[in-house]
């Protein structure tokens, strides 16, 4: 089960990573990141540490996913 208290909205994730919310949407659409869970209404909730791991980011490094 996910820890809801630590999961954030897409805009909150973008703020935490220092990117535009549209960047989060593009990363998700490309499959670079996956939400921790999705509400019954279709809203994604993100775990910031998990997204950093998915992007291969260090905790202190700015958000720039590796290009492949």
Q: Are 47 and 7 in contact (CB under 8 A)?
A: yes
Which residue ranges of the chain lie beneath pLDDT 70?
Answer: 1-5, 59-68
The per-residue pLDDT for 28 is 98
* Residue 10 and residue 46 in contact, taking contact as beta carbons nearer than 8 Å: yes
CATH of 4-54, one of 1.10.1660.10, 3.30.420.40, 3.40.640.10, 3.40.50.150: 1.10.1660.10
Rounded Cα–Cα distance for residues 43 and 65 (Å): 23
How high is the pLDDT of residue 67? Answer: 45
Beta bridge partners of 52: none
pTM of the model: 0.77
Ranges of each domain in the chain: 4-54
Contact 51, 17 (CB under 8 A): yes
């Amino acid at each position: 089960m996910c820890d809801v208290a630590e999961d954030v909205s897409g805009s909150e994730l973008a703020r935490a990573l220092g990117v535009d919310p549209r960047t989060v949407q593009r990363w998700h659409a490309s499959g670079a990141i996956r939400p921790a869970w999705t509400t019954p209404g279709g809203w994604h909730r993100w775990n910031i540490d998990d997204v950093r791991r998915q992007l291969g980011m260090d905790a202190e490094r700015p958000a720039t996913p590796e290009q492949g």
